[in-house]
Amino acid sequence: MSVVEAAKPDGWEEYGERQETRVGFFTDTSICIGCKACEVACKEWNLVPEDGREWTGQSYDNTGQLDANTWRHVAFIEQEKPLRVDDGAEGLRWLMSSDVCKHCTHAACLDVCPTGALFRTEFGTVVVQEDVCNGCGYCVPACPFGVLDKRELPASPPESLDLLDGLGKKEDGRVWKCTLCYDRLKGGHEPACAMACPTKSIQFGPLDELRARADQRLAKLEAEGWNGAQLYGRDPDDGVGGFGAFFLLLDEPEVYGLPPDPVVTTRDLGQIWGHVAVAAGVVVGAVLAAFAGGSR
């Protein structure tokens, strides 16, 4: 898999004339106010179960991380660090960031899914078909960002089936994540989180336009001397071919709990299986030689 082909997401070309413009998110964390409107809008539109009602002790972060029941996660990082490079005195600053599935150009989750439950849409995004997912969980460790997760809440049966023994007590077990509001995209609408964001920290649109907009925003912050401003996931030549949902950060990715140099986890599978085949051949050859020697 070559990251040089990053402009074309894996599987996208199969749509042919039905292929739409690739869209995504640009999240500008420098104007995020931590209101969590995106979290609420995501849950309301996608009927995501409630969670995060326990106090984590991590500032005002009540959800902790992305998982099956949190498709948008607003992180709060408190720092004793100047906002700008030329600030004389250090002061407390909050870094707030709304994290989401990256909708990678080269998505390992697509590579490992045995049922085709995960698929690339005509918009270049990555979606889970819940009626096809068998809960195998192969995609969970394949994601370099820890986005995918199995839902452990009880599966709720239709009301007409409430009397059936055991139904509704079994765990859901399927994998859930952000769909970039695929149903809204097909209707010509922007995703719920972007529509609800009051500061436009979450921006939605054609990915090429978002990248150009992000470059301009970064140049402006650098000219103003903002401390640590950088783009994360904007580069099509990175280890996953660029994100479909990328970020402007005000510190290193690790500060936000993000991997500094993500790589598609299935990148070396071909080479690994090649080594396995060679090793197996050597073993078989040694066994045959042993049998041949013993027969003399």
Q: What is the pLDDT of residues 77-103, one digit of tens each?
A: 998 888 788 776 667 888 999 999 999
Q: Are residue 204 and residue 278 in the same domain, yes or no?
A: no
Residue 119 counted as domain residue: yes
Band of residue 195 on the pLDDT scale cut at 50, 70, 90:
very high
Position 43 scores a pLDDT of: 96
The Cα–Cα gap between 63 and 206 comes to: 29
Integer Rg of the chain from CA: 23
Q: Are residue 293 and residue 239 in the same domain, yes or no?
A: no
Q: Are residue 286 and residue 147 in the same domain, yes or no?
A: no
Residue 1 counted as domain residue: no
**Average pLDDT value for residue range 188-200:** 98
The Cα–Cα gap between 273 and 263 comes to: 18
Residue 195 counted as domain residue: yes
Residue 170 counted as domain residue: yes
Q: Supply the CATH number for residue 179's domain.
A: 3.30.70.20
47-81 pLDDT, tens per residue?
A: 999 887 778 888 888 889 999 999 999 999 998 88
Position 58 scores a pLDDT of: 80
- Reply yes or no on whether the pLDDT at 175 is more than 60: yes
149-163 pLDDT, tens per residue?
A: 999 888 665 554 454
Count of domains for the chain: 2
The helix or strand, by DSSP H or E, that contains position 217, with its residue range, turns out to be helix 207-223
Structure tokens at 144: 């370099």
Q: Are residue 202 and residue 279 in the same domain, yes or no?
A: no
8-31 pLDDT, tens per residue?
A: 899 999 999 999 999 999 999 999
| Closest of 9, 227, 222, 228 to residue 127, by C-alpha | 9
Q: Are residue 192 and residue 292 in the same domain, yes or no?
A: no
Q: Which amino acid is at 200?
A: K
The Cα–Cα gap between 17 and 23 comes to: 17
Position 83 scores a pLDDT of: 79
Q: Are residue 233 and residue 283 in the same domain, yes or no?
A: no
Range of 286's domain?
269-296
**Average pLDDT value for residue range 138-167:** 76
- Reply yes or no on whether the pLDDT at 41 is more than 80: yes
Does residue 296 or residue 116 have the better pLDDT? 116
Q: Are residue 238 and residue 278 in the same domain, yes or no?
A: no
Position 100 scores a pLDDT of: 98
CB of 29 closer than 8 Å to CB of 249: yes
Q: Are residue 166 and residue 182 in the same domain, yes or no?
A: yes
> C-alpha angle with apex 233: 11 to 128, nearest 5 degrees?
40
Q: Are residue 160 and residue 282 in the same domain, yes or no?
A: no
Q: Are residue 178 and residue 217 in the same domain, yes or no?
A: yes
Least confident of 92-96, 113-117, 159-163, 258-262: 159-163
Q: Are residue 146 and residue 228 in the same domain, yes or no?
A: yes
**Average pLDDT value for residue range 26-55:** 93
